[in-house]
Structure 1
Amino acid sequence: MQRPGLTEARLVEAAAELADASGLPAVTVSALARRFDVRPASVYSHIAGLDALLDATAAFALGELGDRLAETLPGKAGRDALFAFADAHRDYARAHPGRWQFAQRRAAPDTAATVAGGRMARAARGIVSGYGLAPDDEVHAVRLIGSAINGFVALEAGGGFEHSTPPAAESWARVLDAVDTSLRNWPTHPVDPTN
């Protein structure tokens, strides 16, 4: 029997809130059942299982992040777009650390999370296309941007910059300047990956 008012959307939102408060590993069917004061079977009447819940919550987080990008990116190109894109990611990760973890989770194919992830990839691709890179190089450039953002955010979230100066915000700006410089000076000759 379904509990009145309990829906997949409410479960997903509760999973996102739980992840922000306690981390992604805290999100379980049992934890959600306790939160809504129901039995786990009631949760399963709204979701297919834990993997489906995690995928749906990843899609939720990616959708929120995509909405932020849709607000901040229009009218920007080059360095301005790069900084807006990166800042949106870092700000989201700092405000919603658990949701950020969900957004990094590899989702099952053909789910709402993979669709939402595609939205992020298209936004990043739009930024690098503004630098005039060859289409074959755009994938590499998107990976560079993602690596810089995700690496910095992960180190910052783990406390990696807390015991040193200058402040992380200063390093963040320098890292993004370095990425911008790399994109503006992209090598025109492919590098042999075996060297």
Structure 2
Amino acid sequence: MERITLSSNTVVSAAADLADEAGFEAVTLSAVARRLGVRAPSLYSHVRDLEALRDGVAALALGELSRRVAAAIAGRAGHDALDGFATAHREFARDAPGRWQSLQRRAGDAVVRSDAARQIVTLNQAVLRGYPVPEDQHVHAVRLLGATINGYLALERIGGFDHSSPSSEVSWRKTVQALDTLLTTWPRENP
């Protein structure tokens, strides 16, 4: 086996790949070390501990997600931007399930302060510019979008919609349309 040159990026990337293959909960220092053909203590030069490793996967995932979202909303506004935004999340959750799972946990400070997190915030704001949501209400709209999209994807992932008709695709379209309607008619007053 060829010796791998370890770096923080190499370790985090291996952890992200492991998460996609075996689930995010499978990401441990020993499992990543085995994957890289090294002993677990070798990783401590590159990641502080398990939480730092998992935060690294989350930051990597945010970066990848932000690039997908940016491409999906480029040149679009209103419903088209919202649809691109939501679809980019859905496709990312399907294509990179472990990475997506890494985003479904409380993020550490390093993730929250990362360039990828700032980019996601900027992309959320770009989508909201196409709607009459007052700027002082954006935080509420972003939380609504995140809760709805992530909740839907979590239920879809565990097969929560598999036992009834119509298909989850039909409900997904209805959900995005309902979000569009809600954002278009956002209440003006702050309760």
TM-score when normalising by structure 2: 0.92
Aligned to 1:173: 173
Verify the 8 A CA contact 1:56 1:113 in the aligned structure 2: no
Aligned to 2:19: 19
Verify the 8 A CA contact 2:145 2:179 in the aligned structure 1: yes
Mapped pair 1:50 → 2:58:
no
Cα distance in 2 between the residues matched to 1:90 and 1:26? 22
Following TM superposition, by how much is the alpha carbon of 1:103 offset from its aligned partner in structure 2, in angstroms? 2.1
Greater shift, 160-169 or 100-109, is seen at: 100-109
Cα distance in 1 between the residues matched to 2:33 and 2:188? 55
Change (3 A) 1:113 1:5: farther
Aligned to 1:83: 83
Paired positions, count? 188
Q: CA RMSD in A?
A: 1.5
Matched-pair identity in %: 48
CA offsets per residue over residues 154-182 of structure 1, 9 Å max, x none? 10011101111111111000000001001
Amino acid at match of 2:154: A
Aligned to 2:113: 114
Following TM superposition, by how much is the alpha carbon of 1:119 offset from its aligned partner in structure 2, in angstroms? 1.7
Verify the 8 A CA contact 2:73 2:127 in the aligned structure 1: no
Following TM superposition, by how much is the alpha carbon of 1:121 offset from its aligned partner in structure 2, in angstroms? 2.0
Following TM superposition, by how much is the alpha carbon of 1:52 offset from its aligned partner in structure 2, in angstroms? 1.3
Aligned to 1:164: 164
Mapped pair 1:62 → 2:86:
no
Unmatched tracts of structure 1, length 5 or more? none
Following TM superposition, by how much is the alpha carbon of 1:12 offset from its aligned partner in structure 2, in angstroms? 0.9
TM-score when normalising by structure 1: 0.91
Cα distance in 1 between the residues matched to 2:64 and 2:4? 26
CA offsets per residue over residues 73-93 of structure 1, 9 Å max, x none? 111000000000000000000
Verify the 8 A CA contact 2:55 2:111 in the aligned structure 1: yes
Unmatched tracts of structure 2, length 5 or more? none
Structure 1 residue runs of 4 or more that deviate by more than 3 Å after TM superposition: none
Cα distance in 2 between the residues matched to 1:119 and 1:103? 15
Within-5 A mapping of 1:93-108: 93-108=93-108
Residue 35 of structure 2 aligns to a residue in which SS? helix
Mapped pair 1:189 → 2:185:
no
Amino acid at match of 1:129: R
Change (3 A) 1:165 1:41: same
Verify the 8 A CA contact 1:19 1:26 in the aligned structure 2: yes
Following TM superposition, by how much is the alpha carbon of 1:39 offset from its aligned partner in structure 2, in angstroms? 1.1
